[in-house]
Amino acid sequence: MTEAGACKEYSCGLEAALDVIGGKWKVLILWALGSGALRFGELRRQIPGISEKMLIQSLKELEADDIVVRNDYKVVPPRVDYAMTPFGHSLCEALAPLCAWGQQHVERIAACKSRSEAARQALTA
């Protein structure tokens, strides 16, 4: 929603999808939640390298976009977990071919990234 409460206009469906999954971490969060609901600590352990701040921020954004639901069980000690909504599951289904493509080409992508990094380092040396 924009400030005036009007819906944001997208020029194409890809722009809308990227608005939801943009950034490095959201897609990884969705993959982790693909197998079922997880508590915050479990989720953080399944996504190496993500900071607590980024995980919190990404979860809040995914929740605001109705991709993830936060379940607060209102018990002592506190118990909260995160799960995908049906809308989130539909997004995960759309991401599956992208994951397959990445798996199919992982060695080539890694080699290209290595060459690129080596060239960048050679320029700064």
pTM, to two decimals: 0.83
Per-residue tens of pLDDT for the chain, all 125 residues: 445 567 889 999 999 999 999 989 999 999 999 999 999 999 999 999 999 999 999 999 999 999 999 999 999 988 999 999 999 999 999 999 999 999 999 999 999 999 988 888 888 87
Dihedrals phi, psi of 6, to nearest 5 degrees: -80, 150
Q: Which domains does the chain have, with CATH numbers?
A: 13-93 (1.10.10.10)
Long-range contacts from 55-58, C-beta under 8 angstroms, 24+ separation = 55/25, 55/29, 58/23, 58/25, 58/26, 58/29
